[in-house]
Amino acid sequence: MAEQVAQLKDLVLQLIRQQQEEQQEEHRRRAGLESKLDELIKYRIEDRKELERLRTLLTENKDDKCSIMINTTRVKGETTDFTKVKENLQRSIDSYNVLNGVKIVCLRPLPADRINVVFKSEAEATRAREHKQWITMAMPLAKVRSEEWYPIKCDMVSKRAVMDAAVNDGRTLLTEVCNEFKEDNSTEGIDCTAHKVRWLSKAQSQKATGSLVIWLKNKISAEHLLRAGQ
């Protein structure tokens, strides 16, 4: 009888231990699932925030790419009647053969006596900026804001890859650096056109690498490269 009681007691203890192990395993499984779910939610939120940030950047820069900003503070003629101002500017554009086909879509008022002249496309805005004598003709003393570029700093750049060996002054860079930078870094949807580059490190340094700053045409591309380099 005592032996049977002992066996029954052992069986009960085994069942209790088995139940405890199963509960612990279930707890670990649920904890793992919850952790994975939190991770997925976190990534989805981050992706959504990143998407919204890029969408905001695209919206903010849409007009900037297709427009030219004019400061009319010193202009003595008409600057407030936008219908007349637009007609005057368009007549001036039409008088230059090099600007054939360039059309002003609208004018947008900005603070401090500034106007955004918006064109149909970025290409038209670029042509109008390159041949800006039409502005002087239509609005003498008006000032045009230069195209904005976006600098990024690059470290650990090989001197051999970028320095002009013919000059060999430790500072003059090859003329093709900007073009090569664009080819090496541009991807689908990311235009890494560069307009200007300058060496930052000491000219007489014996190090094989150094730092430079390069100015990009596109704000989104600059931010993309900065994030990728973090």
Q: Domains of the chain, with CATH numbers?
A: 64-144 (3.30.70), 150-228 (no CATH)
pTM given for the model: 0.48
Quickly list DSSP for 113-141: TEEEEEESSHHHHHHHHHTTHHHHHHSTT
Label residues 118-147 b or e (16+ Cβ within 10 Å = b): bbeeeebbbbbbeeeebbeebbeebebeee
Q: Are strands 143-144 and 67-71 parallel, antiparallel or unpaired?
A: antiparallel
Q: State how far the Cα of 23 lies from the Cα of 29, in Å rounded to an integer.
A: 10
Tell me how far apart the alpha carbons of residues 126 and 108 are, in angstroms, rounded to a whole number: 18
pLDDT at 166 over 70: yes
Q: Are 144 and 132 a contacting pair, CB within 8 Å?
A: yes
Asked whether residue 58 carries a pLDDT value surpassing 80, the answer given is no
pLDDT at 189: 78
For the residues 52-79, what does the mean pLDDT come to? Answer: 69
Return the SS3 of 154.
strand
**Residue 92, Cβ density class (10 Å: 0-12 exposed, 13-18 middle, ≥19 buried):** middle
pLDDT band of 230, cuts 50, 70, 90: very low
Evaluate if residue 145 carries a pLDDT over 80. Answer: no
Query: Quick one: pLDDT at residue 59?
Result: 44
Residues, the chain, total? 230
pLDDT of residue 7 exceeding 80: no
Which amino acid is residue 193, in one-letter code? T
pLDDT one-digit tens code per residue, 86-108: 999 999 999 999 999 999 999 98
Cβ 164 vs Cβ 174: under 8 Å? yes
